Amino acid sequence: MSASIELVIFDCDGVLVDSERIAVRVDRVILEQAGLRLSEEEIIERFVGRSDQVFIAAIEEHIGEPLPDGWLNRFDAAYRDALASELTPVDGIVDALRAIPYASCVASSGSHEKMRFTLGLTGLYHFFEGRIFSATEVRKGKPAPDLFLHAARAMGVDPAACVVVEDSRYGVQAARAAGMRAFGFTGGLTPAAMLQGANTVLFDDMRDLPQLLAVAASVKPVSAPTVL
């Protein structure tokens, strides 16, 4: 795996926008309405970083029948209202984006509509306009590598020259499966232990990311994670 960096691929929720705490709270209400009672810790472990399809599949398995088409859409207003009143950029991300000298893009399990809303609401959309990729564009979402490989192809960069900034277990697994180095952000909801793995740097302050990338560009990745 090359030490050079040509592209930084950012997840969106929990990495760019501080949405995971809000989403988990709303998810818990929705799951309870479907008769599936899970703690916030269980929701984080099972669903953070994954697509709506995984969320719906879990409910269908619990109730033993398919949900009607568009069932989750009736909760869109609850998500949007909560995000509109509470959402902020992840602390330090604006400073990091301004300091990072590499090309960048977003690759998220969320839909394009959701990312336009959250990135626009937080003033981050202009950093990535025209370079935003959604799991809706690929066959398999995280932890499969499809989304990150799709983003690399679209950006014209070899996967070995890409690094991924993620905050979820499934996200760092997808990065490793794609042959990319992972930077696991531990300042969110996912415990650091869930992010550890090969070719993975863990960090808890987004302001540290530019320097960590500079170091990674000059040192070949190792098999064990670096933990800050």
Q: Backbone phi, then psi, for 161, in 5-degree steps? A: -100, 10
Q: How many CB atoms lie within 10 A of CB 139?
A: 9
In degrees, to the nearest 5, what angle opens at C-alpha 86 toward C-alphas 118 and 107? Answer: 25
Question: Distance between CA 162 and CA 23 in Å, rounded?
Answer: 28
For residue 166, give every residue at least 6 positions away whose Cβ sits within 8 Å of its Cβ, in sequence order, or none.
11, 15, 49, 172, 174, 175, 182, 183, 184, 185, 195
Cβ(92)–Cβ(206) under 8 Å?
A: yes
For residue 214, give both structure tokens. Answer: 């500079």
> For the chain, what's the residue count?
228
Amino acid found at 110? G
Q: How many CB atoms lie within 10 A of CB 10?
A: 28
SS3 of residue 7 by DSSP: strand
For residue 115, give both structure tokens. Answer: 């990312």
- Among residues 11, 13, 27, 167, the one annotated as catalytic is 11
Q: Any catalytic annotation for residue 11?
A: yes
Return the active site residues: 11
